[in-house]
Amino acid sequence: MLRAATTARLSRELADDLLDGDAAAGADALARRAHELGHDPHRPYRALAVRWGGRALDDRRIETVAAAARALQVACWSTRRDHALIVLAQRSDADSWADTGVWQALHHAIAQDFPDGVGSIGVGGLAATLTDIPRSYRQAQQALRIRSAAPNPHGVTNHDQLGVYGLVADPEAADFVQEWLAPLLDYDQQHGAELTDTLAAYLKHNGKYGDTAADLTIHRSTVRYRLHVINSLTNHDLDDSEIRFNLQIATHIWRGQRHTP
């Protein structure tokens, strides 16, 4: 029987390999290691990123997280990276994954032991197989960054509830933004301008000049001039509903990328 310290080390190594999607290790080998360490490789995971008091938890407190999870019928294995505790969680009842209240309950349970700290938890999407875990990990990181940057960082942000901002973590999101906004982004960078911000505000306010000007604290005539430049650079017809829809998604993603630390 493996000693506790050895088991803990092997569990951390497995968690790291699963988070990295270590193809060299082989899916079958990863599944076998997971099973030997008490995981059920056929049950879905979620990755969680936990930061308390602005840093990852120390060894003594990690067990508090594990104990709180067990009380909620959540098994977890963890490792530290990127100044956070990264947890791989499995529910005993696969059908209960839709219950997002469990993560709020986990946060509350941890806060009972650390009442003076500001705690942030980011929850990644469901990883149905071992190969999906890296995606869930990226989503948990993004959710944690958004939660940490929120006016009230003490709480939980679930990637499944981010809506369009969840696209920020998608590898194809940057390509989508470039496809629709590249001329404006390039112009803004070269001239210190704010055309992309202007377009985002204009779309947010459904094409109302007055509201856009008030949002940006500029004159209505400046909004009109900037929109003229935007049109000349992109040739986008802002009266076309499909084009407006795609531009609105692109500016949402761009703002999420820009404002995410």
Ramachandran angles phi, psi of 128, nearest 5°: -70, -25
Task: Write down how long the chain is.
Answer: 261
Q: Given this model, what pLDDT does residue 165 score?
A: 63
* pLDDT tens digits, 23-40: 556 778 888 888 888 888
Closest CA to 39 of 65, 3, 10, 61: 10
Between CA 254 and CA 174 the distance in angstroms is 8
Contacts of 52 (CB under 8 A, 6+ apart): 61, 110, 114, 117, 118, 119, 120
Greater confidence (256 vs 225) lies with: 225
Categorize the per-residue pLDDT at 231 as very low, low, confident or very high, splitting at 50, 70 and 90: very high
Other Cβ atoms within 10 Å of 133 Cβ, number: 24
Between CA 190 and CA 198 the distance in angstroms is 16
Per the structure block, which two tokens stand in for 99? 């219950």
* pLDDT tens digits, 137-161: 988 988 888 888 777 899 999 988 8
Categorize the per-residue pLDDT at 48 as very low, low, confident or very high, splitting at 50, 70 and 90: very high
Does residue 177 carry a pLDDT above 60? yes
Percent of the chain with pLDDT over 70: 88
* pLDDT tens digits, 102-122: 999 999 999 998 887 899 999
pTM equals 0.67
Q: Given this model, what pLDDT does residue 4 score?
A: 72
